[in-house]
A and B are shown apart, each in its own frame.
Chain A
Amino acid sequence: MREQADLLPGTLDVLILKAVSLGALHGYGILLRIEQITRGALLVEQGALYPALYRLEHQGLLTSEWGTSDNNRRAKFYTLTTAGAKRLRDETDSWKRLASAMSSALKARPEQA
């Protein structure tokens, strides 16, 4: 079993937006895609996905629609709205800044101080 890390607060929302940006998905599909794109490195509690989905939908970042799943069952599919796409871009930028700042900070050696 690979080592898994707990999610930082707020990261689940970004992950969901990213997952949905790659194509409309139902809840379980989103879980699978997050696992796939994080290569299973992040631990998502399955049920916790739904309050986040409802919140994002409430904020107008996602819309949902009932459709039919691969196994012919009624399922709710989420798609990214324009506002959601914009939020994803913003979040990506700030994550990149934060990540590079954090990594350069953590790489710092004594002579640089």
Chain B
Amino acid sequence: MLTRIIAFCRAAWRRARFEADMDDEMRFHMECRAAVLARGGVPPEEAERRARIEFGNAAVYRDRCRDSRRLTVLDDLRIDLRFALRNIRKDAFLSTAIVATLGVGIGATTAMFSAVNAALLRPLPFPDPGQLVMVYSGTDGPTPVFGPDYVEWRENCRVCVDVAALTQWPSTIAGGTAPERELIGRVTPSFFTTLGVSPMIGRGFLPDEMGRGPLGNTDQPVEKPAVILAASFWRRQFGGDPAVLGRTVRIDGEVATVVGVMPDGFNFPDRAQAWMPASVLSTRSNAYLHVVTRLRRGISISQADAEFKTLLARLQVQAPDERRVTTVHLVPLQEDLVGDVRTSLVIFSAAVGLVLLIACANVANLLLAQAASRPREIAIRTILGAGRARLVRQLLTESLVLSIAGGISGIIVASAILDVFRGMVPEAVPRLNAIAIDGWALVFVAVLSLLTGLTFGLAPAWRTAAVNLHTGLKSAGARGSGGSESARLRGLLVVTEVALALVLLMGAGLLLKSFVTLRTRPLGFTPDRVVIANVTLPEASYSTAARLDTYFREAFAGVQSDPDLEAAGLVSALPLARTGARIRGDVTAEGEATERKGLMVHKIAVGGDYFRAMGIGLIRGRVFDVHDDANAPGVFVISQSLADRLWRGQSPLGRHVAIWNGEMREIVGIVADVKQDGLRQGAVPAVYQPIEQVPDRRQWLVRDMTFVLRPSGSAALAVQRLRTSLLRIDGNVPLYDVAPLREVVAADAADPRFYALLMGVFSLIAFALSIAGIYGVVSYSVRQRTHELGVRMALGAPRSHVVRLVLRDGMVLVGIGAVLGLVASYAATRTLSSFLFRVGVTDPLTFVTVPAILCLVALVACYVPARRATATDPLSALRYE
């Protein structure tokens, strides 16, 4: 086998040499023969002639020699290619349509593949990533674990190479070019070794560099605060200077020494820009640690699971503790990072696959139409000796050339899609910011192009090559017979297209309805024109409530004089955002001994003119004013739903409630309910209190605050004035995450919007393709029946009758497709259930409207050619032959 391949290659590469040698060898033969004949007395010229005759047809033998070396395959390919290109150029419009259709189909599929590849297939940038596993407490679903649990696991796990604990939250880092608010990973010293990634410069953490706990617990005193920077942060803030080692930065006002810089691309978890040592509490009071472990080679998840089970049981016997984690939930790190994105990627991959199938069906349809016009050509080729296999091969070459052109345009389409995609990917989707068309995507395109070429090319090629010689030659060439089998095949393709497109449209319809439902829910506030900006006051320099109060008072003094500002407020937990201290807890009503069971309220601190700035409607009573300060009697404003829950039907004004088991305070106002946690959530009762009245021991509640500005003029100017005024008060406190409030609201619906948009785009492409398919089939059949329709009209059939005749043909196909599509949708849409908000997977409105629209547009697509059929003069139609 190998020798044959080598011989073939050698022959192919030295084709010229091969030909020359072969000629020479045969000429030598004839010369020898001529010489023998000449010696026998034949005159030289006659001898040469006879030698040639005796040799036989040299051209045929040469061809057979080439054949024996498999050289004809290359020759055929070259001929097929040349022929294909000629045909493609001949029908430039059709070819362009095919390449464009394929480009869209392949492009969309490739873009989706790149996303799937980035999120699911590409291994994590850690050595041996398959052995990295997240360990969650599995008692109430996967949740973080207590410090002592982590310590026990690290000391006792026999199947683990190492175990690390981590958590993260944003902090202000100052000390580089400008203070920045960034996510900082709080990790144990074993973090980097467990992941198997070492700092690019400097070192990792030492065991004695453990830091403070996340809630201010100082379980272990900070000896030497250390920080390790991400490469991106290091370049941005320190210009990539290696001398950064040993320098100090301030993290939330706390001084820390830079001991290392991680390599580029390492931002685990999420988008961490720096890492500090996490403290591991020695009590089981707060479960906040995420635990990652590297399993020993050859240990599977199920083995590790079993090991953990016995380990936990043993520990419980040795040192019983009712709060110890008793069941664990192991998740491969890759899966953990991708999370529930997997489902959406799988669904959208399926959707895009359908789009590609529809594109293929459409192209097959176009090719069949084209093929119908060439039976004469095929018949002639058959007579000249081309076998069916040879013809199929030649026709397939044509479709492969088209599909490769389609693949190339698909790459262009895919990179355009990805450009748009990158800007829209919801933040919650990890690892997708790095999607790009890489080598794998190119391989994917190549394979896809070949497969599509075969898919859409094989049926038409097989059909076309089986031409009936008699009718084929008789047909005029320009107008073919097509044949009923071909018509059936085309009809089948259209039915498939309509059915598939309907499934996609239905999915898009459901997602769109869900998104609209979500976005049209009443917010409880009016986000128009409002801008928000965040500020965080570090504990180091703002340790007392008095200092915080002073800061905010000065801040408001700076902006309240701004004539362009309608209202300015301050809030500890901005609705629909993730910033600040978002606390829900008990509430105790006046005259009741204990807190109300099952009633959780938001505890929100507000300052300035918050309610007016947000546009939260006051229902009864009053909102806070400047007199409600630390020295005034404590007051609350509560939300409508809390008023209803506590004293249904009675006025709560003047009554008292307590939160955090604190003192009873008077309710002075009732405001409208606000979507605090998310658009999907219902009304959650809320208690508002003035920031000045937040007790000293709860001052962490007002450390992360959001300014809410409702400008009457330019928003940018208002923010600029606020920024300047704040920097005058404290230059180390940056204003961050400045954004229009509308964006905050939109961000909460970003995922549904993204999914609806994606499915919408896919389904519209599918819709357009299938409508084009219907249009193509109907106009083709009209052209086929011009003569027949002419006869009908000449015999007096009214135009409307002819139109109905044509419409019926097309709409039968559409109808069958729509019914099949409905059945398929019924089965397919349930995969969307987790993406839908207050919309059933078989939402009746969608299941009626979408097919109706599809049929209506299809009707128009059929009507246009039908109308054209009747517009022709019956006489010329009769002559048309």
Known: A28-B28, A48-B61. Contact between A58 and B56, CB under 8 A?
no
Of B4, B25, B33, which is within 8 A of A50 by CB?
B25
Of B3, B29, B55, B68, which is within 8 A of A51 by CB?
B68
Q: For chain A residues 1-48, which have a beta carbon within 8 Å of chain B?
A: 26-28, 31, 45-48
Q: How many A-B residue pairs have CB under 8 A?
A: 65
Is B264 interfacial (CB-CB < 8 Å)?
no
> Closest chain B residue to A45 by CB distance?
B56
Docked pose: A95 CA to B62 CA in angstroms: 30
Q: For chain B residues 39-85, which have a beta carbon within 8 Å of chain A?
A: 54-58, 60-62, 64-65, 67-69
Docked pose: A50 CA to B21 CA in angstroms: 12
Is A46 a contact of B55 with CB atoms below 8 Å? Answer: yes
Docked pose: A48 CA to B28 CA in angstroms: 15
Docked pose: A60 CA to B677 CA in angstroms: 79
Is B68 a contact of A47 with CB atoms below 8 Å? Answer: no
Is A47 a contact of B56 with CB atoms below 8 Å? Answer: yes
Docked pose: A73 CA to B35 CA in angstroms: 13
Of A28, A51, A60, which is within 8 A of B65 by CB?
A51
Is B28 a contact of A47 with CB atoms below 8 Å? Answer: no
Is A73 a contact of B55 with CB atoms below 8 Å? Answer: no
Which residues of A have CB within 8 Å of B28? Answer: 26-28, 69, 73-76
Is B24 a contact of A50 with CB atoms below 8 Å? Answer: no
> Closest chain A residue to B11 by CB distance?
A58
Which of A47, A55, A66: most chain B CB closer than 10 A?
A: A47
Docked pose: A58 CA to B71 CA in angstroms: 12
Is A47 a contact of B33 with CB atoms below 8 Å? Answer: no
> Closest chain A residue to B69 by CB distance?
A58
Docked pose: A66 CA to B64 CA in angstroms: 21
Is B4 a contact of A47 with CB atoms below 8 Å? Answer: no
Is B29 a contact of A58 with CB atoms below 8 Å? Answer: no
Q: How near does chain B come to A23, taking the closest CB pair, in angstroms? A: 17
Docked pose: A7 CA to B56 CA in angstroms: 16
Which residues of B have CB within 8 Å of A51? Answer: 61, 64-65, 67-68
Is B31 a contact of A73 with CB atoms below 8 Å? Answer: yes
Docked pose: A74 CA to B35 CA in angstroms: 16
Docked pose: A74 CA to B26 CA in angstroms: 12
Which residues of B have CB within 8 Å of A49? Answer: 29
Docked pose: A51 CA to B55 CA in angstroms: 13
Which residues of B have CB within 8 Å of A28? Answer: 28-29, 32-33
Which of B4, B7, B22, B61: most chain A CB closer than 10 A?
A: B61
Q: How near does chain B come to A93, taking the closest CB pair, in angstroms? A: 25
Q: How near does chain B come to A34, taking the closest CB pair, in angstroms? A: 13
Is A46 a contact of B56 with CB atoms below 8 Å? Answer: yes
Is A76 a contact of B21 with CB atoms below 8 Å? Answer: yes
Q: How near does chain A come to B594, taking the closest CB pair, in angstroms? A: 96
Is A112 interfacial (CB-CB < 8 Å)?
no
Known: A28-B33, A55-B68. Contact between A47 and B25, CB under 8 A?
no
Known: A27-B25, A75-B28. Contact between A54 and B69, CB under 8 A?
yes
Which residues of A have CB within 8 Å of B29? Answer: 27-28, 31, 46, 49-50
Q: How near does chain B come to A54, taking the closest CB pair, in angstroms? A: 4
Docked pose: A67 CA to B35 CA in angstroms: 19
> Closest chain B residue to A70 by CB distance?
B32
Is A58 a contact of B4 with CB atoms below 8 Å? Answer: yes
Which residues of A have CB within 8 Å of B61? Answer: 47-48, 50-51
Which residues of A have CB within 8 Å of B69? Answer: 54, 58
Which residues of B have CB within 8 Å of A75? Answer: 25, 28
Docked pose: A54 CA to B29 CA in angstroms: 15
Of A47, A55, A69, which is within 8 A of B57 by CB?
A47
Q: How near does chain A come to B73, taking the closest CB pair, in angstroms? A: 14
Docked pose: A73 CA to B841 CA in angstroms: 86
Docked pose: A49 CA to B29 CA in angstroms: 11
Is A47 a contact of B31 with CB atoms below 8 Å? Answer: no
> Closest chain B residue to A74 by CB distance?
B24
Which of A50, A58, A66, A76: most chain B CB closer than 10 A?
A: A50
Docked pose: A50 CA to B65 CA in angstroms: 7
Docked pose: A31 CA to B57 CA in angstroms: 17
Which of B54, B58, B62, B65: most chain A CB closer than 10 A?
A: B65
Which residues of A have CB within 8 Å of B25? Answer: 26-27, 50, 75-76
Docked pose: A51 CA to B111 CA in angstroms: 51
Which residues of B have CB within 8 Å of A50? Answer: 22, 25-26, 29, 61-62, 64-65
> Closest chain B residue to A46 by CB distance?
B55
Which residues of B have CB within 8 Å of A73? Answer: 28, 31
Which residues of B have CB within 8 Å of A69? Answer: 28, 32
Q: How near does chain B come to A66, taking the closest CB pair, in angstroms? A: 8
Is A104 interfacial (CB-CB < 8 Å)?
no
Which residues of A have CB within 8 Å of B57? Answer: 47
Docked pose: A76 CA to B29 CA in angstroms: 10
Is B56 a contact of A48 with CB atoms below 8 Å? Answer: yes
Which residues of B have CB within 8 Å of A31? Answer: 29
Known: A28-B33, A58-B68. Contact between A46 and B54, CB under 8 A?
yes
> Closest chain A residue to B27 by CB distance?
A73
Which residues of B have CB within 8 Å of A76? Answer: 21, 24-25, 28
Is A71 interfacial (CB-CB < 8 Å)?
yes
Docked pose: A75 CA to B28 CA in angstroms: 7
> Closest chain B residue to A53 by CB distance?
B65
Is B7 a contact of A58 with CB atoms below 8 Å? Answer: yes
Docked pose: A75 CA to B32 CA in angstroms: 11
Q: For chain A residues 45-103, which have a beta carbon within 8 Å of chain B?
A: 45-51, 54-55, 58, 60, 66, 69, 71, 73-76
> Closest chain B residue to A60 by CB distance?
B3
Docked pose: A39 CA to B823 CA in angstroms: 81
Which residues of B have CB within 8 Å of A74? Answer: 24, 28
Which of A26, A58, A66, A76: most chain B CB closer than 10 A?
A: A58
Q: For chain B residues 679-701, which have a beta carbon within 8 Å of chain A?
A: none
Docked pose: A13 CA to B415 CA in angstroms: 58
Docked pose: A47 CA to B64 CA in angstroms: 10
> Closest chain B residue to A56 by CB distance?
B68
Which residues of A have CB within 8 Å of B26? Answer: 27, 47, 50
Which residues of B have CB within 8 Å of A66? Answer: 21
Docked pose: A71 CA to B32 CA in angstroms: 9
Which residues of A have CB within 8 Å of B31? Answer: 73
Q: How near does chain B come to A4, taking the closest CB pair, in angstroms? A: 14
Q: How near does chain A come to B532, taking the closest CB pair, in angstroms? A: 79
Q: How near does chain A come to B13, taking the closest CB pair, in angstroms? A: 16
Docked pose: A28 CA to B62 CA in angstroms: 16
Which residues of A have CB within 8 Å of B22? Answer: 50
Q: How near does chain B come to A109, taking the closest CB pair, in angstroms? A: 43
Which residues of B have CB within 8 Å of A71? Answer: 32, 35
Which residues of A have CB within 8 Å of B35? Answer: 71
Q: How near does chain A come to B61, taking the closest CB pair, in angstroms? A: 4
Which 3 pairs, one residue from A and one from B, show the smallest C-beta to C-beta distance? A51-B64, A47-B56, A47-B61
Q: A51-B64, A58-B7 are in contact. List 4 more A-B contacts (CB 8 A).
A: A47-B60, A49-B29, A50-B25, A50-B26
Between A and B, 24 residue pairs with Cβ closer than 8 Å are: A26-B25, A27-B29, A28-B28, A28-B32, A46-B29, A46-B56, A47-B55, A47-B56, A50-B29, A50-B61, A50-B64, A50-B65, A51-B64, A51-B68, A54-B64, A54-B69, A58-B4, A58-B68, A66-B21, A69-B32, A71-B32, A71-B35, A73-B28, A76-B28
Contact surface of A with B, Cβ cutoff 8 Å: 26-28, 31, 45-51, 54-55, 58, 60, 66, 69, 71, 73-76
